[in-house]
Every structure is written in C-alpha cells, then in structure tokens.
Amino acid sequence: MMKKSIYIMNYKKYSVLLLILILITSCHTIKVNKSAMRTAVTAPIALGVLGIQQDGVLHSDFRETAIPIYEKGIKVGVTAETFKSSTYNAYTKSTKKNKQSITYIDSIKTNPTFLKLDVIDRITMLSEFKKPANASALHYIKNQKNAGVVTSVSIALPEQLIQEITNAEAVFLVNQQYKQYQLSLVKNGKSYKTIDFESATVFGYQLSYFCWGMNGKRKIILSDIVDEVSSCPKNTYRDATKAKEKMDYFKL
C-alpha cells in the first residue's frame, strides 16, 4: 500500500513538471510553416549569432554571447509567409512602436507577409567555425555545451525589401561590416545588393547546437551542427567533455 502511494505521488509530481514544461514551451513559441519557433522579445537577434537560451515559466529569452566571423557567405533559404494572429502578436511584442508599420486585420483573407530565413548550408557554417578568425568562438562553444547558433529567423521587413529578397536568385548571410550581419542578394552569380538586419524586425527564431567527435588523429573536433530537437550523429556528442571522456575510455 505504501509503495502504491509513493508511486502515485511520484506520478503526480512528474505530471505537474511535464505540464509546466509544456506551458513554458507553448507560451514562448509560434508555428511558422509547421515548425515551432521561439519568440524574440527583448534583444535584437540576427541569423548566425551565438548565444544561450534562457527559459522560465514567465520569461523566455535568448542572450547573445558571441558574433562569429563568416569570411565566406552562407546560403540561406527564403520562404514568404502570411501573417496570422499568432505571428502578428509575436511581431507586435518584439517592436513596441510597430517599426515596419504593418496593418493586420484578422477578418480579411489577404494580409501582409513576412519572411522565414533558414541557414541551408550547414557545411559552410561548420567550416567557418574552424577557421582561425573564429578561434575564440570555437573555444567558447567547446567549453559551453549550452551555447547555440541562430539558424532560422522570422523577420518583418518593408514590402519592397521582401519583394527584392524573394526575387533574388540566391541569398547569402555575410558580415561585410564589423560585428554586423547582412543578407547578400545574388543574381547571375554576383552580389548586387546587401540588406542589414538592422532594417528588419526579428520576432521568431530557431537554434541549432554543436556536436563534437574524434578525428583520425584521435583529436576532439567540431563535427556537426544539428537542430535543437535533433540528436547528434553516432559517436558524436553535444558536450565536448563527454566526447573526450569517450576517447580516453577507448584509449585504455
């Protein structure tokens, strides 16, 4: 009887914890093209920055900690999306003065659009982190397993810029200015325009995390970048310390 009571108490405790986690997630996320995105509230967020996600029951936010240097442009996927009540509410919370002057009316079928940008060239991003220019950033993420990189954002922009971005043959993430990222629009293999993230309003984002493994010389290296909800590939680990422990074990 005592064991059954303890089991029931533990079950209730874990059920409450699970409910709290669900509430935390649902209160601070939006659905964009069937994928969940965290909502941006206090700090400006740009594609490609490093930081720590801080989750709480009443507050959830991203704290930017480092701005990597991307010497080579990283290809970005662009999707135009129509504002819905949930995405519009997320937008208004991220910009108190309606920076983009967006008018949304729930009762009409035609509403303003925004863009969802996704890093689609993870291989180039991975190689950029391994370059000497990012030695300090690499050291940071190796010692901070909770550090993530922003690999997807939902952004509001003036309609003219949305048209220019969607009409481009290709779009790349670049940083031609010190500690500032831009979108480079490409046509016929050449960049013809850059757009600063400062001109946009980011109201949603997704994070990816780093996986560490062992190379042929039995050294711990950065091996992969995976979505927040995905696991690291076989024999790689999100924690570089754990990867080293595994390597030391196999040396025995």
Percentage of the chain lying above the pLDDT 90 cut: 55
Give dist(CA 169, CA 157) in Å, integer: 19
Average pLDDT over residues 217-233: 91
Strands 220-227 and 170-177: unpaired
Average pLDDT over residues 25-38: 73
**76: closest CA among 178, 217, 181?**
181
Residue 24: its pLDDT value, please? Answer: 42
Q: What are the pLDDT digits (tens) for 112-128?
A: 999 999 999 999 999 99
DSSP letter at 252 equals -
Residue 128: its pLDDT value, please? Answer: 97
Residue 5: its pLDDT value, please? Answer: 52
Tell me the pLDDT of the chain averaged across its residues. Answer: 84
51, 65 in Cβ contact below 8 A? yes
Does the pLDDT at position 19 exceed 90? no
48, 173 in Cβ contact below 8 A? yes
Geometric angle at alpha carbon 144, from 24 and 155, rounded to 5°: 50
Residue 16: its pLDDT value, please? Answer: 41
Q: What are the pLDDT digits (tens) for 177-218?
A: 777 899 999 999 999 999 998 889 999 999 999 999 988 888
Helices 122-129 and 135-143: angle between axes, nearest 10 degrees: 100
Number of C-beta neighbours around residue 240 at 10 A: 20
Give dist(CA 137, CA 153) in Å, integer: 21
pTM for this model (two decimals): 0.84
Residue 59: its pLDDT value, please? Answer: 62
27 or 85, greater pLDDT: 85
Rounded to 10 degrees, what is the CA torsion of 176, 177, 178, 181? -70
Residue 47: its pLDDT value, please? Answer: 94
Helix (H, G, I), strand (E, B) or coil at 134: helix
- Token couple for 29: 């996320």
Average pLDDT over residues 77-86: 94
Helix (H, G, I), strand (E, B) or coil at 159: helix
By residue count, the chain amounts to: 252
- Token couple for 227: 């979505």
Give dist(CA 193, CA 153) in Å, integer: 20
Give dist(CA 207, CA 226) in Å, integer: 9
**151: closest CA among 251, 245, 68, 27?**
68
Residue 44: its pLDDT value, please? Answer: 66
Residue 218: its pLDDT value, please? Answer: 80
109 or 174, greater pLDDT: 174
Give dist(CA 40, CA 65) in Å, integer: 16
Does the pLDDT at position 28 exceed 90? no
Average pLDDT over residues 154-171: 96
Residue 41: its pLDDT value, please? Answer: 65
Q: What are the pLDDT digits (tens) for 40-70?
A: 766 568 899 999 998 765 566 788 999 999 9
Q: What are the pLDDT digits (tens) for 135-162?
A: 999 999 999 999 999 999 999 999 999 9
